[in-house]
Structure 1
Amino acid sequence: MSEDVLSIIPSDPRWQPDPDAVDRAIALVEELTPEVADGLDAEIDVTWHDVLIAVDCGGNLERIGCPLCQADIDTEWWGDLLEAHCDDGFTTLAIEVPCCGGSTTLDVLDYDWPCGFARFEIAIWNPERLWFSEDELRALADRLGHPVKQIRARI
């Protein structure tokens, strides 16, 4: 059985909030996240990472585009890259793209559905909503003290 995860991450992959800001943000996430099926609360995980981790969209990924030559990047290349870094994370996001050999960073590739990288993540498992609205994201960013983005994964 697959699961859905709606993650909130900082727009700057290396940024991390202080614990008090996280407590304020979690209080808002709890208000904004309705109960899941059978009246159970959604599970919310908060994680700080020492290195950059990929926060990908799992089975929702439809394509990856190169920001340099606009070619499609093979999703198998992406999967191999994630697998190679699943245990130790990423020390850098700098890459040479396989399509044109140009230099760029993983966080600026054109992901369809959104993907990201972070050292901090709030993950809501099986929420009964698809996305947070722009106003809700701004409110979460205000509580954390930094702009955020959202990633929806099908695992």
Structure 2
Amino acid sequence: MSDNVLSVIPTDPRWQPDEAAADRAATLLTRLAPEDDAGLDTEIDVEWYDAVMPVDCGEYLERIGCPRCGAAVSSVWYGDLLEAHGDDGFVSLDVEVPCCGAATSLDALEYDRPCGFASFEIALWNPDREALDDGELDDLGKALGHPVRQILARI
């Protein structure tokens, strides 16, 4: 069975909040996620990572484009890169794309559905809602103390 995950991450992949700010944002995000049809609360995970970790859209990802030449970036190349970094994460997001050999950054690739990289993440597992709206994202950013973005995943 697949899971849906709504992740909120800082716009800066290396930025991390203090615990009080993370608690404020997690509390607000919990309030924004209604109980599911069975009356159960959505599970929430708050994670600080030692390195920058990928936060992708899972099964929703169909195409990655090169920001330099516009060609499709091989999903095999991308998957191998993520697998090679595994639990260790990324020290640098700099890469050379296989299509044209251009130097770029993983967070500059053109994902057909939002993907990101972060050293802090708040994840809602199987929320009974769709994406957060701009106002909700602004409120979460204020609670956290840094602008945020969201990643919707199916894994």
TM-score (norm 1): 0.98
Q: What do you get for the CA RMSD once the two structures are aligned?
A: 0.8
Give 1:66's aligned residue: 66
Give 2:105's aligned residue: 105
Structure 1 stretches of at least 4 aligned residues deviating more than 4 Å after TM superposition:
none
Corresponding residue SS for 2:83? helix
- Provide the rounded CA distance (Å) in 2 between the counterparts of 1:37 and 1:11: 32
**Identity %, equivalent residues:** 61
- Provide the rounded CA distance (Å) in 1 between the counterparts of 2:25 and 2:15: 15
In structure 1, stretches of 5+ residues that fail to align are none
Q: What is the correspondence of 1:127-142 to structure 2 with a 5 Å cutoff? A: 127-142=127-142
Give 2:30's aligned residue: 30
Give 2:2's aligned residue: 2
**Matched residue type, 1:122:** I
Q: CA deviation digits over 1:91-130, x for unaligned, max 9?
A: 1000000110000000111111111000000000000112
- Provide the rounded CA distance (Å) in 2 between the counterparts of 1:34 and 1:130: 11
- Provide the rounded CA distance (Å) in 2 between the counterparts of 1:54 and 1:130: 21
TM-score (norm 2): 0.98
- Using the TM superposition, give the Cα deviation of residue 37 of structure 1 relative to its aligned residue in structure 2, in angstroms: 3.4
Q: Number of aligned residue pairs: give it.
A: 155
- Provide the rounded CA distance (Å) in 1 between the counterparts of 2:29 and 2:146: 16
Q: What is the correspondence of 1:1-155 to structure 2 with a 5 Å cutoff? A: 1-155=1-155
